[in-house]
Chain A
Amino acid sequence: MSKLLRMFLNRVFAVLFFFIELTNFSQKQKKKDSIKMNKLEEVVVSATRTVRQLSSVPMPITLISKKQIQKVGAVRLSDILTEQTGITTVTDFGGFSGVQMQGLDAEYTLILIDGVPIIGRRSGNIDLDRITINNIQQIEIVKGPSSSLYGSEALGGVINIITEKPKRETTKGSVQFLSRGGARNELDINTNILFKKKHLGVNASVNLNSSGGFDLSTETPFKTRYPHKNITGNLKLTYDFSNTLKATISNRFFSENQDAPNVKNSQKDWNTHTEVRHDISDKWKVDYTFYATKFKTKSSSNLNESVFNQVLLRPEIRSQFSFNNMVLSGGIGMNIEEVDRTDFLRKQTFNSPYVFSQLDYKPNKKMNVILGARFDNHSEYQSAISPKLSAKYTFNELVSIKGSLGYGFKAPDFRQLYFNFKNTANGYVVFGVKTLSELHHNFSKVTAFSKGLNPENSIGINVGFEIKPLKNLKIQVNAFRNDINDLIDVFDTRLNAYEKEKDEAVFGDSNAYTTAFENEFNIPISTRIFTYQNRGRVYTQGVELDVSYTLTNNLRFLGGYQYLEAKDKDEEALLELGQVFFRKTTTSPSEVLTKSDYFGLVNRSKHTANAKLFYENYQHRFSANIRGIYRSKYALFDTNSSQGIIDNFDEFVAGNIQFKLSVEKELLNILKLQFGIDNLFNERGTINKSKAAFTNNDSALLLGRTYYGRVQFNF
């Protein structure tokens, strides 16, 4: 770690000097442009579902502007999230990259476009490469449980992608090409038109993205990622009936085809989001919204075809009422969901109505308190009440403190309820809880497992402060702790034919009970039967630090660091009992594992950091930046037979630093040229290849250096 850190710092300093030289050179010409730096106060909508100034929000929030996205050459959501403090992207076994926030897995972060969810989680992940970020205004990231506003899945927080809406009369458009080469090739073509005249506004765009895929370990017959082609279409229409009655209809369409050997995968999703806003008076506003979305995947080979179809409809009415120093807001709505997939008994439908309310109170100029709660009703699992309390106190212009305490939950997913998956060739079957009790409710052993599932739930605390010791220096610190209970996990029921025989004591010889067993489950003897249960308890805690330092008018430094501990409470309890054993080498005698050697959950790095330097030359319309992203060692799985527990003696994926570089030049107001290099020093994680536990494991390797060029025409 220290060696890597030193390397990291050396490189940062080297680059820093380079930039300072550049700045000194360019400084003389620039002064008059400094007005540009005094930007309008940034606003966010995700933290409270009302428009708020970024600096006034009493919970941890990150804002990523369109400008920042363009400066780093990011075209897909995954490209930009990796560079944010406290966010790590983790690639799952299906090759999809998901987001890890405050140490919580991807399935516990809700991903929204304009406040409505993107559906289609696969193994719990929303594939971040599915989402183009070319035509957006900004990305807002709220950390900490946000179920009080958004309901299910918002345990770790919310990522809300805000699309552009034409505000004043305009007609402008852009066409852009991004081409990438090196360790991975990619082509991203994007066209966008923004138009507003009188009452009508239009934002239309088409994005094409394709890649030839890549292979991190060429020794294996499988590629890490297979080639794909996708298209995204967006059409947003706004119409102002009057100053107090405005309507928006957003439509999005996405389609992707992927070719793997002998398998063709296709993926489609579309959504339409209608919103009518009525300002009844200065103080009272009402939003009527209707959201419909569909996600569909198909995977076909010569042998079989599997499909996944999901539909979500959501009517919702929100209202906002302002008093003197209070804003009372609330909403009522219903989720109507339908899922049909291979390995389900039939199409499943369920409705869950919900209601939420929030009081935003400012007793004086320095103090802000927000109290909110939401109730989600459900027929298939226990209903949830999610309260949240946040507060901020501003001492003066230099110092402010804030804190929030909230409850988050995640509803059991469709697999956990309805799976009917049989892989008898490999000797196992997996039943969802509902399927198991529906099919086998007469079997006495089954009733013990079919009590139903609770939503997974968490309590999250965030406490932090912000100081501005200098006019151009801002430091933010946030400490967090999330306690997650009732985690749903697959487990072996250990139901078997013999137990049935012993239980019922009616079968004399082995043939008889084999037959009886096969009749009950219609599967061969000694097949292992899995189902789901609320069983796990974990916690994550840590500290986040963000520094923003404007060195000169041309040069800005952003730095971030997160310390993280993510541990399983049941594993800790086992360790305290001295009941966990491990082997120092694969064939050495067993030893007792102590709690002090416990590392924590897989895929978690204790230390993550980023450092970014942005340079802007206003006169020559030239900008450049360099960013470094560090991640300390992390585990992929237990490598020393210690009951799945990750300890300090396990094999780890080594810590790594990746540098990224980008330069941009604007010509004649209509043309922007950009060139960039990702993973500048070609850090490929090859050190992990020599570790026996990671033989032929692509997860332990990193994508090498890539180059990209981008041309953008604005008209």
Chain B
Amino acid sequence: MNRLKLILPLVISTFLGISCSDEAKEVTVLPVESKMITNLSAQQTTDFTTTPPTTSGDFTKFSFKKGAVVTDDTWDIAFRGTTILVNGGTKIGSLSGEPEKTGNASLTIETGTFASITTAPSDTDFLQDAKETYAVPTGSGNGWYTYAGPPTHLISPIAGKILVVKTVDGNYAKLEILSYYKDNDASKQENSRYYTFNYLYNPNKGDKNMQ
């Protein structure tokens, strides 16, 4: 009986201990979030009367944690026209309407299919915006898109370009832009500047797993 009295708490506490640690594990490893964002509006206006032409308008800020457009400082990346900014580093400088950089997010453009990027690359590959230098290079064929020129003026996302982002909270996410046109309909010029993209967000801070 004495023995039983001795063993029982032990057994119970072990049991509790085990179940406690199990519970703790379930809390830390959250499942990755896979989602598609459609028709994210990234409008801008350009004044062609000045030389060089000046572009203005607010950037559309996106947070992977929220999985949505945000208006506060919790954004990771921001879109306007074909330009993509990251919330980290210093301001570009010459850009009108450029949001303040409050975080330490960074990103890298990887080559592969969305599925083939299974882990985030080493931190040394990640870039931030700097004065007059974009982490996502601008211009046709330099970053994420190509520009067809007249007569179609089509902006096409380059196949095999995957953006891997380290968010303001230190989480990793990957993103593939699928379309620059509202409802994927590139036939009308006014449909442009609407992003559709697939992304995957790992809610476990610092975890590089991308699948």
Interface: B156 (CB within 8 A): yes
Q: State whether B178 touches A587 (Cβ < 8 A).
A: yes
User: Is B158 within 8 A of A641, CB to CB?
Assistant: yes
User: From residue 99 to 118 of chain B, which have CB atoms closer than 8 A to chain A?
Assistant: 111-114, 116
A524 touches B160 (CB 8 A): no
Chain A's nearest CB lies how many Å from the CB of B173? 16
- The residue on A at minimum CB distance from B150 is A426
**A510-B93 contact given A581-B113, A587-B184, A589-B178, CB 8 Å threshold:** yes
Q: Would you mind naming 24 contact pairs between A and B with Cβ atoms under 8 Å apart? A: A498-B133, A510-B94, A524-B52, A525-B52, A580-B160, A581-B158, A581-B160, A581-B161, A582-B160, A586-B179, A586-B184, A586-B186, A587-B178, A588-B178, A589-B113, A589-B176, A589-B178, A590-B113, A590-B161, A590-B162, A592-B113, A640-B159, A641-B158, A642-B159
Chain A contacts with B in 515-574, Cβ cutoff 8 A: 524-526, 528
Report B-chain residues with C-beta under 8 Å of the C-beta of A220. Answer: 151
The answer for the CA separation of A218 and B186 in the assembled complex, in Å, is 22
Q: Is A305 an interface residue (CB 8 A)?
A: no
Inter-subunit contact A695/B159 (CB<8 Å): no
Say yes or no: B132 contacts A510, CB within 8 Å.
yes
For the complex, what is the distance from the CA of A465 to the CA of B52, rounded to whole Å?
Answer: 64
> B residues 138-152 with Cβ under 8 Å of A?
139, 141, 146, 151-152
Taking the nearest CB of chain A, how far is it from the CB of B203, in angstroms? 22
| Distance, CA A525 to CA B52, complexed state (A) | 9
Report, nearest first, the 7 A-B pairs whose CB atoms are least far apart.
Answer: A581-B160, A581-B159, A590-B159, A587-B179, A587-B184, A641-B159, A590-B160
| Chain B residues with CB under 8 A of A589 | 113-114, 176, 178, 198
Q: Determine whether the beta carbon of B139 is less than 8 Å from that of A528.
A: yes
Q: Please name 13 further chain A to chain B contacts, defined as beta carbons within 8 Å, in addition to the given A587-B178, A641-B159, sorted by A numbering.
A: A579-B111, A581-B111, A581-B159, A583-B159, A586-B184, A590-B114, A590-B160, A590-B162, A590-B176, A592-B160, A641-B146, A643-B159, A696-B151
A674 to chain B, nearest CB (A): 40
A-contact bits for B180-206, CB 8 A (1 contact / 0 none):
000010110000000010100000000
Interface size class of B (residues with CB under 8 A): 20 to 34
What residues make up the interface of B, taking CB atoms closer than 8 Å to A? 51-52, 93-94, 111-114, 116, 131-133, 139, 141, 146, 151-152, 156-162, 176, 178-179, 184, 186-187, 196, 198
Q: Which residue of B lies closest to A581 (CB)?
A: B160
Interface centre among B156, B161, B186, B187 (most CB of A within 10 A): B156
The residues of A that contact B114 with a CB separation of less than 8 Å are: 589-590
Q: How far is the CB of A40 from chain B (nearest CB, A)?
A: 55
Q: Which residues of A contact B (CB under 8 A)?
A: 220, 492, 498, 510, 524-526, 528, 579-583, 586-592, 640-643, 692, 695-696
In the bound assembly, the distance between CA atoms of A641 and B140 in angstroms comes to: 12
- Closest Cβ of chain B: how far from A244's Cβ, in Å? 62
Q: Is the CB of A498 within 8 A of B132?
A: yes
Which residue on chain A has the smallest CB distance to residue B94? A510
Chain A residues whose C-beta falls within 8 Å of the C-beta of B160 in the assembled complex: 579-582, 590, 592
Q: What chain A residues lie within 8 Å of B132 (beta carbons)?
A: 498, 510
Q: Using CB atoms, name the residue of chain A closest to B152.
A: A695
Q: How far is the CA of A510 from the CA of B131 in the complex (A)?
A: 9
In terms of DSSP, what is the predominant structure of the interface of chain A? loop
Contacts of A586 in B (CB 8 A): 156, 179, 184, 186
Residue picked from A524, A528, A583, A692, most chain B C-beta under 10 Å = A583
Please report the C-alpha to C-alpha distance between residue A345 and residue B159 in the assembled complex, in whole angstroms.
40
In the bound complex, residues from chain B placing their C-beta under 8 Å from that of A587 are: 178-179, 184, 196
- The complex places the Cα of A22 from the Cα of B52 at a distance, in Å, of 73
How far is it, in angstroms, between the C-alpha of A692 and the C-alpha of B187 when the chains are bound? 9
How far is B178's CA from A581's CA once the two chains are assembled, in angstroms? 13
Interface centre among A220, A498, A589 (most CB of B within 10 A): A589
User: Once the chains bind, are B159 and A582 in contact (CB under 8 Å)?
Assistant: yes
Which residues does chain A contribute within 8 Å of B158, judged by CB atoms? 581, 641, 643
Bound CA span A581–B115, Å: 13
Instruction: Report the separation of the CA atoms of residues A587 and B184 in the bound assembly, to the nearest whole angstrom.
Output: 7
Contacts of A580 in B (CB 8 A): 160
**Min CB gap A597→B, angstroms:** 13
CA distance A210 to B125 in the complex (A): 63
| B83 CB to nearest chain A CB (Å) | 13
Asked if B176 and A641 make an inter-chain contact with CB atoms under 8 angstroms apart, the answer reads: no
A429 CB to closest chain B CB (Å) equals 14
C-alpha gap A588/B176 in the complex (Å)? 10
B139–A641 CB distance below 8 A: no
Closest to B179 in A: A587
Cα distance A587–B195 in the bound complex, in angstroms: 11
Q: How far, in angstroms, from A492 to B139 measured CA to CA in the complex?
A: 12
A579 to B196, CA, bound (A): 24
Q: Which residues of the partner chain B approach A640 to less than 8 Å between Cβ atoms?
A: 159
CB distance from B180 to the nearest CB of A (A): 9
In the complex, A498→B160 CA distance in Å? 27
CA separation between A606 and B164, bound complex, in Å? 41
Q: Give B160's nearest chain A residue, CB to CB.
A: A581
Closest Cβ of chain A to B136, distance in Å, is 15
Task: List, in ascending order, chain A residues with CB within 8 A of B157's CB.
Answer: 641
Shortest beta-carbon distance, B84 to chain A, in Å? 17
Chain B residues, Cβ within 8 Å of A588: 178
Give the distance in Å from the alpha carbon of A492 to the alpha carbon of B111 in the complex.
Answer: 21
Task: Name which residue of chain B comes closest to A513, CB basis.
Answer: B132
Q: A526: which B residues are within 8 A, CB to CB?
A: 52, 139
How far in angstroms is the closest Cβ of chain B from A552?
54
Complex Cα gap A162–B51 (Å): 56
For the complex, give the distance between the alpha carbons of A640 and B196 in Å: 17
**Chain A residues closer than 8 Å to B113, beta-carbon distance:** 581, 589-592
Closest A residue by C-beta to B114: A589
A583 to B162, CA, bound (A): 13
Give A696 to B187 CA distance when docked, in angstroms.
12
Residues of B within 8 A of A642 (CB): 159
Nearest chain B CB to A546 CB, angstrom units:
41
- C-alpha gap A528/B149 in the complex (Å): 14
Residues of chain B within 8 A of A692, CB atoms compared: 187
Query: Which residues of B have CB within 8 Å of A583?
Result: 159
Smallest CB-CB separation from A497: which chain B residue?
A: B132
Closest approach, in angstroms, between the C-beta of A403 and any C-beta of chain B?
43
Complexed CA–CA distance, A582 and B151 (Å): 23
A422 to chain B, nearest CB (A): 15
Distance in Å from the Cβ of A290 to the closest Cβ of chain B? 46
B187 to chain A: which residues have CB within 8 Å?
A: 692, 695
**Which residues does chain B contribute within 8 Å of A510, judged by CB atoms?**
93-94, 131-132
Q: Which residue of B lies closest to A583 (CB)?
A: B159
Task: Give the chain A neighbours of B186 by CB distance below 8 A.
Answer: 586
Residue of B with least CB distance to A591: B113
Query: Chain A: which residue is nearest B156 at the CB level?
Result: A641
- A696 CB to closest chain B CB (Å) equals 6
Q: For the complex formed, measure the closest distance between the CB of B175 and the CB atoms of chain A, giving whole angstroms.
A: 12
Docked CA distance A590–B141 (Å): 16
Alpha-carbon distance A582/B112, docked complex (angstroms): 10
Q: Which residues of B contact A492 (CB under 8 A)?
A: 141
- Report A192 CB to chain B, min CB distance, Å: 44
Residue among A510, A586, A692 having the largest count of chain B Cβ atoms under 10 Å? A586
Contacting residues, chain A, for B159 (C-beta < 8 A):
581-583, 590-591, 640-643
Chain B: CB-nearest residue to A501? B132
B165 to chain A, nearest CB (A): 17
Max chain B CB contacts within 10 Å: which of A579, A588, A590, A640?
A590
Residues of chain B with a CB closer than 8 A to A643's CB: 158-159
In the bound complex, CA of A298 to CA of B131 (Å): 46
Residues of A within 8 A of B141 (CB): 492
A498 to B161 Cα, complex, angstroms: 24
User: Distance (Å) between the CB of B139 and the closest chain A CB?
Assistant: 7
Q: Which residue on chain A has the smallest CB distance to residue B116? A: A592
CA–CA, A526 and B138, complex, Å: 10
> How many angstroms from the CA of A643 to the CA of B141 in the assembled complex?
9
In the complex, chain A residues whose CB is within 8 Å of the CB of B139: 526, 528
A583–B157 Cα distance when bound, in Å, is: 10
Residues of A near B196 (CB, < 8 A) are: 587
A348 to chain B, nearest CB (A): 30
